[in-house]
Amino acid sequence: MKITKANQYILISGLIVFGIILRLIPHPANFTPIGAIGLFAGSFLTLKRFWLVPIIGLLLSDLYLGFYNVASMLCVYFSFIISAFIGKILLSHKNTPNRVGLAAVVSAIQFFIISNFGVWLSGTIYSFDIEGLIQCYVMAIPFFGNTLVSELFYSFVLFGSYYVLTVLMKRRYILSGKDTK
């Protein structure tokens, strides 16, 4: 069941606010819903700029939290755009729990690769050579667990909530007598 265009703007606003709030409250490192929001937006939104949903939430929360190294920031933002496209490619036609889980894992992996490449590229922490790149990825391994768990958790929260609400709305519609089929 696709979301009507009229309801997409309400959903977009809700997703952005959800992402902002959960980035601003205390949380473990790399445990935010931005990637899952990208997957969800890619799966359900039919607007051409669906990929802006996680970016707007990220940007608005970064206005409060503060900006950081440009290379790192661009890689992080680009990674969340990719998450939205992963949702569009893997989930827009069929979003079973297995597919949602797969998309979440793929999203977490690409975030790890791209965001840490940005950290290395910034040249502020690691030497700008192959040894520095390897060290950057090795040092980031402990953060990957939180990224993966949060991607899976928030994906199942968003997609599961959507499923439950859809079922409840269908039942309410059928029980109201408006649908006799």
Read off the pTM: 0.91
pLDDT digits (tens, 9 = 90+) for 82-126: 999 999 999 998 889 999 999 999 999 999 999 999 999 999 999
pLDDT for res 178:
65
Q: Check if CATH label 1.10.260 holds for domain 5-168.
A: no
Q: Is the pLDDT of residue 161 over 90?
A: yes
If you write DSSP's letter for every residue of the chain in order, what string do you get?
-PPPHHHHHHHHHHHHHHHHHHHHS---TT--SHHHHHHHHHHH--STTTTHHHHHHHHHHHHHH----HHHHHHHHHHHHHHHHHHHHHHSS---HHHHHHHHHHHHHHHHHHHHHHHHHHTSSS-SSHHHHHHHHHHHHHHHHHHHHHHHHHHHHHHHHHHHHHHHHHHHHHHTTS---
Domain ranges of the chain: 5-168
